Amino acid sequence: MIPLLFFAAALQSTPDLGKAEGRCRANETGPAFLVEVGGLKDRKGQLKLEVYPANDKDFLQDDNILIMEHKVFRRVEVPVPARGPVQLCIRIPGPGTYAVSLLHDRDSNRKFGLSVDGIGFSNNPRLGMSKPKAAAVAISAGSTLTHVRIVMNYRSGLVSFSPLRK
C-alpha cells in the first residue's frame, strides 16, 4: 500500500503545464471528456481536472516529468461555480484509454490538503489512504465528446476518503 503522503505529494505540480492542451474551445470538435461533478462539499475554492496515461507508473506522476517524457498530461482549473450543475471539459490527444483525477482545492492553495480538500477519479473507485490503481480509474474515450461523472470524496475518519453522506 502506498502511503497517503505519497498520494498527496503526487498531486503537487507546476501550475500552468497542460492547460493550453486541455482547454476546450467553443465549436471545436474532437476527443474530450465532459466531466459532471457530483457530491461537492461546498462551493468554494478551485476545481483541478487532470488527465494522465492509464498506467501505474505515470498515473499522478509529476507533470514536469510527464511533459519532459512526451507523455499525456492535460489540466483544466476553474473556480467552483456558485450554483447550478458543475461540468468541466478537458481535451485529450486522441481516442484511447486515460486516467482522470479531480481535486476540489477548497482553500485554493494549489495542493492537496488531507483534512480540507476533496478528490475524485474516473470510474469512482472506493478510496482508502492510498492512490487507486490506474486500472481502477482507466476510462476509454472515442473520437468525440465522452461523458464522465466523478463523485467527490472527502476525508472520512482516520483511514479513508468517501463521498459525503446525505
Residues 63-71: contacts with CB under 8 Å, at least 24 apart:
63/13, 63/14, 63/17, 63/18, 64/13, 64/14, 64/17, 67/17, 67/18
| Angle made by CA atoms 38, 104, 29, in degrees to the nearest 5 | 70
Q: How confident is the model at residue 165 (pLDDT cuts 50, 70, 90)?
A: confident
What would the pLDDT profile of 120-152 be if each residue is shown by its tens digit? 999 999 998 789 999 999 999 999 999 999 999
pTM of this structure: 0.86
For the chain, give the mean pLDDT: 88
Q: How confident is the model at residue 113 (pLDDT cuts 50, 70, 90)?
A: confident
